[in-house]
With several copies, the nearest count.
Chain A
Amino acid sequence: MSAAKTVDQSALLPESLRDDFPILSRDILEGHPLVFLDNAASTQRPRQVIDAISNVYEHDYANVHRGIHTLSERSTELYELAREKVRAFVGAKHAREVIFTPGTTASINLVARSWGGANLQPGDEILTTVMEHHSNLVPWQQIAAETGAVLRHVPITEDGRLDMAAFDQLLSERTKLVAVCSISNTLGTINPIDEITSKAHAAGALVLVDAAQSVPHMPVDVLKSDVDFLAFSGHKMLGPSGVGILYGKESLLDAMPPFLGGGSMINEVRLDSFTPAELPAKFEAGTPPIAPAIGMSAAIDYLNHIGLEAIHRHEQVLTQLAYDALSQIEGLRILGPAPKHRAGLVSFAFERIHAHEFAQVLNDQFGVAVRAGHHCTQPLHALLGISASTRASFYFYNQPENVDCLLEGISAVQSMFAPQGRRRRRKHNS
């Protein structure tokens, strides 16, 4: 029986949303419309976002800021409107707390180099976790090496949740910053950010949240959660590639030295010295990603129109469906916690069959796009004793039928690669 038939339809978003996404109606395989389950890596774009990008180039484009002519005024206005949209979307107080960056990775590096470089002393501790994406590990390794600070890692529990008892023990007055993902891109685990910020603040530490996997999928409120820094990417939330966000509390950003140097981030430049600009320009050196930022604001409009609560609910249905079905498969190990603790993705490893086989056959024979590999979480994979996993990650345009396709494909892979006593044709007698 199709698992898709059993779900609570009322929690689902209408399938008609798919019509907004041109790529979703293309056949990848003849007769197989695309089943795109690689959304944690990057999502697809609706017509509304693609058009927003074309529109700005066709009607409103010029370099932003300082320009007096009409096009520069227009693009500046659209660019700053995008900043305001992002502010409202994450619940920040001031638009100047929103910095446009090239992406999550760039945002985290900015904080590591600017805040970390100015504030970390030998022996200071940065507390991160074993489930972090490389982008929330390597920058801290780099700045720790530079400043003499020490990196500590919160372990996970048996079932793949953050070990909060260990967190409590690791957190100390030496901890200067906690760098943690809101949702693990491999385990799917939703971390208790509010609890983390309140404990970290009580210990005198700041909190940077790698929200690459949460901002696109569920409501976020930086004020309510009292987050100090929040990093995420446009391309994982329907937005164009080439733009991301760093949110930071004004007082923190104000006190930080500039990071990259160049046009826009300055107030006054002499041959030998400069004074930095005010926020947000201070952290936006050079021509910013103008059209990508404007496209991102169209993505936010689109997401707001659906509603982040509704998106989350929809994804919960798909996740439960996939989880339940995958749990039945012998030899298949689901990474991470039970559905109620996880967001819309499921990664798994199979005893004898490599993740590549799943990704390849699912693609070639079922038109299903999943990711195989370490998903930029090598330390987590090492900890779990595997070198790769297969990940199916959902977005609101996926439907229960897509999960059925996935399951059908997994069965096919299982039988295809089951030992069959094959013998190779002998070339040598050895």
Chain B
Amino acid sequence: MPSEEELYQEHVLDHYEDPFHRGTLESATHAHEDKNPLCGDVVRIELKLNDEGKIENLYFTGDGCVISQASASMLLEELYGKTVDDLKDFSAADMLTLYGPRLTPNRQKCCLLSWKVLQSAVHSPLAEGGES
């Protein structure tokens, strides 16, 4: 199997072991959590949006397979400092490209979980001092 096809390329495992912004965000204004019920992958994303729609900061927590967690790390790294409009333009296809290795339809679901959660999170404001 050619190495560029490897599902678990080095950069994937790097993100898995050394994720970008895994954790919670005290100052979060928005948050969303979802799971992939078929395999139990869970991702929660908390983020801080400013009035201009800029994603000032964002963090994720979660549990699941390498693809689901590494892809969350990559996505957050990619969108860090970007705007809600940038996120809107960031398609599922873009997410798969960002991930890198080609995925079968079943594994695409793992990879797209965090992408779906983030797309929802920007529309899920946290109630003052409350939970989303």
Contact = CB atoms under 8 A, between A and B. Distances in A.
Interface stretch (A15-23, A158-166, A415-423): A415-423
Interface stretch (A65-73, A83-91, A192-200): A65-73
A420 B17 contact: yes
B43 to A, nearest CB: 13
Given A268-B37, A364-B7, A424-B20, A387 B63 contact: yes
A224 interface: no
A420 to B, nearest CB: 7
Given A66-B106, A388-B40, A417 B14 contact: no
A278 to B, nearest CB: 11
Interface string A38-65: 0000000000000000000000000001
Interface in B44-89: 57, 63-67, 73, 77, 80-81
B117 interface: no
B97 interface: no
A374 interface: yes
A372 interface: yes
Chain A interface bracket (under 10, 10 to 19, 20 to 34, 35 or more): 35 or more
B1 A364 contact: yes
A353 B80 CA distance: 28
A139 to B, nearest CB: 19
A430 B81 CA distance: 11
Interface residues of B, number: 35
Interface stretch (A115-123, A296-304, A355-363, A393-401): A355-363
Interface in A343-368: 354-357, 360-361, 364-365
Contacts of A77: 105
B84 to A, nearest CB: 19
Chain A CB count within 10 A is highest, among B7, B15, B39, B41, for B39
B30 to A, nearest CB: 18
A268 B39 CA distance: 11
Contacts of A80: 105
Contacts, number: 96
Interface string A403-430: 0000000000000110111111101101
Contacts of A386: 40
B104 interface: yes
Contact of B80 (A72, A354, A428): A428
Contacts of B42: 387
Contact of B77 (A76, A364, A417, A428): A428
Contact of A68 (B8, B77, B107): B107
Contacts of A365: 1
Chain B CB count within 10 A is highest, among A29, A72, A266, A428, for A428
A427 B11 CA distance: 13
B110 interface: yes
Contacts of B67: 356
Contact of A424 (B14, B105, B110): B14
B28 interface: no
A421 B65 CA distance: 18
Contacts of A65: 38, 106
A381 interface: yes
A373 interface: yes
B106 A73 contact: yes
A356 B17 contact: no
B18 A360 contact: no
Nearest to A264: B38
Contacts of B18: 422-424
Given A67-B106, A73-B105, A357-B65, A374 B40 contact: yes
Nearest to B106: A68
Given A66-B39, A374-B40, A419 B17 contact: yes
A186 to B, nearest CB: 14
A68 to B, nearest CB: 6
Nearest to B109: A66
Contacts of A381: 40
Contact of A430 (B16, B80, B104): B80
Contacts of A357: 8, 65-66
A361 B12 CA distance: 14
A428 B105 CA distance: 31
B126 interface: no
A425 B17 CA distance: 12
A378 B37 CA distance: 9
6 contacts: A66-B106, A67-B106, A268-B37, A354-B66, A381-B40, A428-B77
Given A68-B106, A355-B39, A374-B38, 13 more contacts: A68-B107, A72-B106, A76-B105, A266-B37, A267-B37, A356-B110, A360-B7, A360-B8, A373-B39, A378-B37, A420-B17, A425-B11, A427-B20
